[in-house]
Homo-oligomer: A and B are copies of this chain.
């Protein structure tokens, strides 16, 4: 399995709450970071707990795209919160020698109003 397969298996396990399968994809010393909020989680046990307890309610996700090769991949998911609102989630992944996920960098972009200075250069959808 290369990184694209591992990342697809990771998201499918998360979406189906198959936490044993999810944990088996992680390196013992996995490092998870969110640059936007400066949050960090270190290690498989802590990261499993973060995923199980950090996002209460009936969220679900769909994979939009996973790209990569070898040990590196990036994913774009469509995350639906428990209240039905949607948000894109973007992650960069790195695997270790054993093919386990060793590093995850996670981004959650929010909607914004575009600057009016460039309104003449774009259309809206």
Q: Which residue numbers of A lie inside 8 Å of B, CB to CB?
A: 3, 33-42, 46, 49-50, 53-56, 65, 67-69, 72-74, 76, 88, 90, 92, 105, 107-114, 117-118, 121-125
Contacts and interface: CB of A to CB of B under 8 A. Distances in A.
A65 B92 contact: yes
Contacts of A67: 3, 67-69, 72-74, 92
The oligomer's copy count stands at 2
A122 B92 contact: no
A51 to B, nearest CB: 9
B50 A76 contact: no
B40 A124 contact: yes
Contact of A118 (B53, B72, B105, B113): B53
A86 B86 CA distance: 26
